[in-house]
């Protein structure tokens, strides 16, 4: 019964993906897998997929490394941790659209805080949102700004669950700060790490709000991710069938990616999940 709430729309989406359904002209024909073959041979689809994978990996990679460093720093810190934790967490809970606006006002060409500060210093800044390379960097930074706090929070909680006697034993053996982190602590919170990475990958892959507000996929298609492309297909070009097919492909891709990740990590220790 419960599953039906979700399965019905999914089934409907699958059905739609087999149609040549155009809301604009009202066409509605059954074309089987036509949408899929059209997409798979479409260069724009592959470009978008590559771009999405790049943005997602860069963002999640940055979030994880930064998040781990900060979390470990907080773990070693003996005072002020609660306050810092609370302040660090603020970006994560802000409505994504609003967060994107905040960042727009930082990175906007000429009048944004960053550009105008640079001009004040006598440096002529690039147009951060108008230049394809910079726009991608900004999109990655925006995702990192909002979701590094999530990593910090979860990893910090994880580090605190590590058995203290193990840590003390390692310290007696003369393990340094970094050996302790990489040899003792990380291996013991590995399930948590896989989990949090998987969650972030899934979420980053379908993320829409920030990019929509920051660049709408522009300039050109420099920051157009799969989700933005699907949105444009469905609600701008009104090609509902093709858009559904693209959505299904995205789902399959993300599912495969997650399954692969879990497999690779748990090849030796099955059943840990």
Partner 1 sequence: MRRARTQIPLFLLLAGFTAVTLIPVVWTFLTSLKQPVDAFAIPPRLIFTPTFEFHAEVWIEKQFWRYLINSVVIAVCTVVISVSIGTMAAYGLSRLRGTATRGLLFSLLAMRMFPHILLAIPFFLLAKSLGLVNTYPAMILALVAINQPFTIWLMRSFFVDVPTELYEAAALDGCNAWQVFSRVALPVVRPGLWVTALFSLLLAYNEFLLALVLTGPDTKTLPVAIAEYGGEDINYWSLSAAAAIGIMLPIVVFMMALQRHLVRGLAFGAIKG
Contacting partner 1 within 166-195 (CB under 8 A)? 191-192, 195
Contacts of 196 (CB under 8 A, 6+ apart): 150, 151, 154, 155
When asked if residue 265 is in the footprint of partner 1 (CB under 8 A), the reply is no
Cα distance between residue 18 and residue 183, in whole Å:
51
Contacts of 69 (CB under 8 A, 6+ apart): none
When asked if residue 19 is in the footprint of partner 1 (CB under 8 A), the reply is no
Binders in 205-224 for partner 1, by CB under 8 A: 205-206, 208-209, 212-213
Return the closest-CA partner of residue 85 out of 167, 151, 177.
151
State how far Cα 227 lies from the chain centre. 12
Cα distance between residue 51 and residue 248, in whole Å:
18
Contact assessment for residue 211 and residue 139, using Cβ atoms and an 8 Å cutoff: yes
Stretch that binds partner 1, among 30-38, 128-136, 163-171, 232-240 (CB under 8 A): 232-240
When asked if residue 254 is in the footprint of partner 1 (CB under 8 A), the reply is yes
When asked if residue 111 is in the footprint of partner 1 (CB under 8 A), the reply is yes
Stretch that binds partner 1, among 42-50, 55-63, 85-93, 163-171 (CB under 8 A): 85-93
Shorter beta-carbon distance to partner 1: residue 12 or 54: 12
When asked if residue 26 is in the footprint of partner 1 (CB under 8 A), the reply is no
When asked if residue 74 is in the footprint of partner 1 (CB under 8 A), the reply is yes
| Least gap, CB of 116 to partner 1 (angstroms) | 5
Report DSSP letters for 93-117, one per residue: HS-HHHHHHHHHHHHSTTTSHHHHH
Stretch that binds partner 1, among 40-48, 55-63, 89-97, 260-268 (CB under 8 A): 89-97
Among 45, 64, 134, 145, which residue sits at the site for partner 1 (rule: CB under 8 A)?
Answer: 145
Stretch that binds partner 1, among 38-46, 53-61, 129-137, 149-157 (CB under 8 A): 149-157
Cα distance between residue 30 and residue 260, in whole Å:
34
């Amino acid at each position: 019964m419960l599953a039906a709430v979700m399965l019905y729309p999914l089934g409907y989406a699958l059905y739609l993906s087999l149609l040549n359904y155009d809301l604009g002209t009202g066409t509605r024909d059954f074309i089987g897998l036509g949408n899929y073959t059209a997409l798979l041979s479409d260069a724009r689809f592959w470009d978008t997929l590559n771009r999405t994978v790049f943005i997602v990996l860069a963002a999640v990679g940055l979030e994880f490394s930064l998040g781990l460093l900060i979390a470990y720093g907080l773990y070693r810190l003996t005072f002020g941790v609660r306050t810092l934790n609370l302040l660090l967490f603020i970006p994560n809970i802000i409505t994504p659209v609003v967060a994107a606006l905040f960042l727009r006002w930082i990175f906007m060409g000429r009048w944004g805080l960053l550009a105008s500060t640079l001009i004040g210093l006598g440096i002529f800044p690039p147009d951060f949102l108008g230049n394809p390379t910079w726009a991608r960097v900004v999109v990655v930074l925006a995702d990192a700004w909002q979701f590094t706090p999530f990593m910090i929070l979860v990893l910090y909680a994880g580090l605190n669950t590590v058995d203290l006697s193990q840590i003390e034993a390692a310290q007696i053996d003369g393990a340094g700060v970094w050996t302790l982190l990489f040899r003792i602590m990380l291996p013991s919170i590995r399930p948590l790490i896989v989990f949090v990475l998987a969650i972030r990958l899934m979420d980053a892959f379908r993320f829409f709000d920030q990019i929509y507000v920051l660049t709408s996929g522009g300039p050109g298609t420099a920051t157009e991710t799969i989700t933005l492309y699907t949105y444009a297909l469905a609600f701008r070009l009104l090609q509902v069938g093709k858009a559904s097919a693209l959505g299904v492909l995205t789902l399959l891709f993300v599912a495969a990616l997650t399954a692969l990740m879990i497999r690779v990590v748990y090849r030796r220790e099955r059943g840990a999940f």
